[in-house]
Amino acid sequence: MLDPVFYQFSTSTTLILLIGFYGLTFLFSTLASKKSSSVDGYMVANGAVGFGIAAASMTATWIWAASFYGAASSGYQYGLSGAMHYGFWGALMILFIYPYGQRFRELAPRARTLAEIMQARHGSSSQLILAVSNLVGSVISLMVNFTAAGALVSVLTPLSFEVGVLIAGIGVLSYTLWSGFRASILTDFAQVVAMMLVAIVLIPWIYFNMGGSEALSQGFNIITAEQADFFSTKAILEQGAPFFVAVLAYGIGNQTIAQRLFAVRKDLIKSSFITATLGYGSIVIGLGMLGMMALFMGMTPHEGDLNNLIPQVASAYLPPIAIGMLFILVIGSLSSTADSDLSALSAIVMTDIYAKNLAKGKIDNKKMLLLGRITMIVATALGLILASFSLDILVMLVFVGALWGTLVFPVIASCYWDRVTNRAFLSAVLGGLILFCLVRFEWIALIGVWASSLELIAAVGGGTVIGLMFFGFTNRNVALIAGSIVGVLCAFYFHDFLRDYTVLLGSLVAYGASTMICTAISLASNERFDFALIHERIQHFDD
Partner 1 sequence: MLSLYILIWPVISAAVLFVIVRAFFKDMAEAKREERDIV
CA distances from 458 to 309, 355, 461, 512 (A): 35, 38, 5, 6
CB 480 within 8 A of CB 429: no
> Which residue, among 505, 481, 503, has the nearest Cα to 494 in the 3D structure?
505
Instruction: Give the nearer residue to partner 1 in terms of CB position, either 68 or 146.
Output: 68
Instruction: Give the nearer residue to partner 1 in terms of CB position, either 33 or 74.
Output: 33
- Residue 237 CB, shortest distance to partner 1, in Å, is 22
Question: What are all long-range contacts of 207-215, with beta carbons under 8 Å and residues at least 24 apart?
Answer: 207/289, 207/293, 209/317, 209/318, 210/293, 210/297, 210/317, 215/297
> Which residue, among 97, 90, 96, 56, has the nearest Cα to 70 in the 3D structure?
90
The total of other beta-carbon atoms located within 10 Å of residue 444's CB is: 11
Sorted by sequence, the CB contacts under 8 Å of residue 19 that are 6+ apart come out as none
Instruction: Give the nearer residue to partner 1 in terms of CB position, either 200 or 523.
Output: 200
Q: How far apart are CA 114 and CA 101, in angstroms?
A: 10
> Which residue, among 437, 496, 486, has the nearest Cα to 465 in the 3D structure?
486
The torsion of the CA quartet 54, 178, 332, 309, rounded to 10 degrees, works out to -120
Instruction: Give the nearer residue to partner 1 in terms of CB position, either 296 or 511.
Output: 296
- Residue 225 CB, shortest distance to partner 1, in Å, is 17
Q: How far apart are CA 90 and CA 88, in angstroms?
A: 5
- Residue 352 CB, shortest distance to partner 1, in Å, is 23
> Which residue, among 343, 338, 316, 342, has the nearest Cα to 148 in the 3D structure?
338
Contact residues: partner 1, CB under 8 A: 32-34, 45-46, 49-53, 55-56, 59, 80, 182, 185-186, 189, 192-193, 196-197, 199-201, 203-204, 207, 212-213, 216-217, 263, 275, 278-279, 281-283, 285-286, 289, 292-293
- Residue 172 CB, shortest distance to partner 1, in Å, is 18
DSSP 8-state code for residue 36: P
Sign of CA dihedral 479, 532, 355, 104: positive
Instruction: Give the nearer residue to partner 1 in terms of CB position, either 200 or 374.
Output: 200
- Residue 495 CB, shortest distance to partner 1, in Å, is 36
Instruction: Give the nearer residue to partner 1 in terms of CB position, either 199 or 245.
Output: 199
The total of other beta-carbon atoms located within 10 Å of residue 369's CB is: 21
- Residue 57 CB, shortest distance to partner 1, in Å, is 9
Length of the chain: 543
Instruction: Give the nearer residue to partner 1 in terms of CB position, either 183 or 334.
Output: 183
CB 262 within 8 A of CB 97: no
- Residue 371 CB, shortest distance to partner 1, in Å, is 22
- Residue 105 CB, shortest distance to partner 1, in Å, is 17
Instruction: Give the nearer residue to partner 1 in terms of CB position, either 94 or 387.
Output: 94
- Residue 94 CB, shortest distance to partner 1, in Å, is 12
Instruction: Give the nearer residue to partner 1 in terms of CB position, either 189 or 243.
Output: 189
- Residue 288 CB, shortest distance to partner 1, in Å, is 9
Instruction: Give the nearer residue to partner 1 in terms of CB position, either 293 or 350.
Output: 293
